[in-house]
Amino acid sequence: MSKIVYALLLPIFLMPLSALAQNNKMYVMEGIGTTVIEISKGYNTTTFYDSFWNFDSDFKYGIPQGCQSNHHINLLRWVTKKALNMEKHLLSKSTFIRSVQCEKSLYLHKKRPFLRDRLAPEQLAKFRRGTKLGIVAQHLFPGGIDVRPHSYHQYTKKLLETQEVINSQSHNVIYEAGFQYDRLLVFLDILSKEEGHWIGYEVKSALKISDTFLLDAAFQYYVITNSGLPLKDFQIIYINKDYTFDGTMNLKALFIKESVLDRILPLQSFVKKKVEEGKATLQLEKSPPIEPGAQCTNPYPCDFIGHCWKKIPKEQWPQVSYSGEEFYHFVEDILKLATTEDKS
Ligand code: SF4
C-alpha cells in the first residue's frame, strides 16, 4: 500500500486512541481487512490481530507474520507509541544521579542549560573511555543485537525495537536495551537471557563498586522491572585491579561481574521517593534555593560551579580534580589492546 494511502488512514488511527485508553482496544478499518490492536502497558498483554495479512497472527509489539510493508510496520510502531503514551522522558539515569547530588543541579541542567560550565577535556575523555569500555565488555556476551540510539531522536524507535527483540525472542543478548516507565528512561549496557531469565549488566570504568554505582543500578532496576520486564539479577561489571596482561587479552580475567541485587532491592523505595522529588523540582518556576557546599564536588564535580559560586571569592571555590590519572592510563592501554586484538 502506498504512503499516500497510509497518510489518508492516519486520522482513522487517531480517532480511536481515546477509546483505547478506556478499554485497551482499537479497531481500525484498513482496506478490506480489520486490524485489531489490543494494548496494555507491560510485556504480557499486547496483542495485534490483523485480518488483512493474517487474522490469527498474535504478537506482542512485534511484526505480524506475513507483514512485508515497512509503511505498515512504521504505522503500527507509531500507534503503539501513542497508545503507550510514550511522552518525552523527564529523568534518565544520569539526571537521576544528578538530582540525588543536588536538586538545583537537576533544575539548571533541564531548564537553564546555557548556564553550564564548559566541559573539561578530562571529563569528556572520561565519558568516552566509559563508553568504549562498555563496548569492549560486550565481548563477554557475544552474539547480541545492538539497539543503541545514536541520537536523542532515536529514543522512541530504540525503545520499541527493544520490546520487539524481547517479545520475538530473536536474541538472548541485547546491548543498550531501552526501557521507559513513568517518564523515566534507561538504556542498559547489556541485557542477557540466561537459563530462561533476564539479567541486567552495567559496565563501569572503575576498580570497585561505589555507592553511586549502586544508586545508578537501583534506578535502572526500578525502571526496567516496573516497565514490565522481570530481572532475575542485576550485576555490575568492573575492572579487576589484579589483572596483568600476559600477551593475550583475557576479558574474563580483566572484568569482574558482581551481583548487586541484594544491595539495590532495599534502595527501591528511595529511588521512588527521589524520582517524585526530582519531578516536583522540574515543576518549579525558579531553581530551588540551595546554597553551594560540599555537594558541589561529591560524588562528581558539578558543571554549574561557575554559576552558583560566582558571588564567592574564587580562592574559596571547590578544587575540581580529575584524580586517578594512573588508572585512566591503565584503561586507555586496555582499550588499545582490546581494539588491536579485535582487528587482528
Ligand atoms: S554548583 Fe553546587 S549548588 Fe550549584 S547546582 Fe551544582 S551542586 Fe548544586
Q: For a substitution probing ligand 1, which of 300, 302, 309 has the most ligand atoms within 8 Å of its CB?
A: 302
196 and 327 co-located in one domain = yes
Strongest mean pLDDT among 84-88, 135-139, 337-341: 135-139
Residues 256, 151 within the same domain: yes
Q: In which domain, by residue range, is 14 found?
A: 3-83
What integer is the mean pLDDT of 245-252?
A: 80
Residues 16 and 158 both lie in one domain: no
**Whether the predicted model's global pTM rises above the 0.95 cut:** no
Q: What is the pLDDT of residues 96-111, one digit of tens each?
A: 999 999 999 999 999 9
Q: Are residues 48 and 78 in the same domain?
A: yes
For residue 249, pLDDT beyond 70: yes
> What CATH code is carried by the domain that includes residue 328?
3.90.320
95 and 160 inside one domain = yes
Specify the ligand 1 atom closest to the Cα of 104.
Answer: 5
* Pocket mutation for ligand 1, best pick of 103, 305, 309, 319 (most atoms within 8 Å of C-beta): 305
Q: How confident is the model at residue 9 (pLDDT cuts 50, 70, 90)?
A: low
3-state helix, strand, coil in the chain (%, to 5): 50, 20, 35
CA of 102 to the centre of ligand 1 (A): 6
122 versus 300: the higher-pLDDT residue is 300
In the prediction, which pLDDT does 223 show? 96
Among residues 66, 83, 100, the one where a domain terminates is 83
How far is the centre of ligand 1, averaged over its atoms, from the C-alpha of 304 (Å)? Answer: 6
46 and 163: one domain? no
Helices (H), the chain: 3-14, 17-23, 70-83, 93-101, 103-111, 121-137, 155-168, 211-226, 251-254, 261-264, 268-283, 305-308, 325-343
Nearest CA to ligand 1 atom 7: 296
- Which amino acid residue places its CA nearest to atom 3 of ligand 1? 292
The rounded Å distance from CA 294 to ligand 1 centre is 9
Ligand 1 atom showing the smallest separation from residue 105 Cα = 5
52 in the same domain as 173: no
Ligand 1 centroid from CA 315, angstroms: 17
Q: How far apart are CA 194 and CA 174, in angstroms?
A: 12
d(CA 238, CA 202): 9
Q: Enter the C-alpha cell of residue 20.
A: 483505547
Provide the pLDDT for residue 99.
96
Q: Report which of residues 327 and 51 the model is more confident about.
A: 327
Coil vs helix vs strand at 343: helix
74 and 99 housed in the same domain: no
Give the model confidence (pLDDT) of 290-344 as tens digits: 999 999 999 888 999 999 999 999 888 888 766 566 666 777 777 776 666 554 4
User: Is pLDDT larger for residue 72 or for residue 202?
Assistant: 202
pLDDT above 60 for 51: no
**How confident is the model over 151-177, as a mean pLDDT?**
88
Where does ligand 1 bind, in terms of residues with CB under 6 Å? 102, 104-105, 108, 290, 292, 295-296, 302, 304-305, 308
What 124-132 contacts at long range (C-beta under 8 Å, 24+ apart), as own/partner pairs, is 125/328, 126/205, 126/322, 126/328, 129/205, 129/328, 129/331, 129/332, 129/335, 130/203, 130/204, 130/205, 132/335
Total count of domains within the chain: 2
pLDDT, mean over the chain: 77
Give the Cβ contact number of residue 289 at 10 Å: 6
Domain endpoint, select from 48, 83, 118 = 83
Residue nearest to atom 1 of ligand 1 (CA): 305
Q: Same domain, yes or no, for 143 and 239? A: yes
Q: Quick one: 257 and 118 in the same domain? A: yes
**C-alpha 32 to ligand 1 mean position (Å):** 60
Which of 50, 83, 116 lies at the terminal end of a domain, its last residue?
Answer: 83
Do residues 76 and 200 share a domain? no
Is 200's pLDDT higher than 90?
yes
CA distance 1 to 84: 26
Given the CA of residue 309, which atom of ligand 1 is nearest to it?
A: 1
**Choice between 78 and 199, residue whose per-residue pLDDT is larger:** 199
45 and 125, same domain (yes or no): no
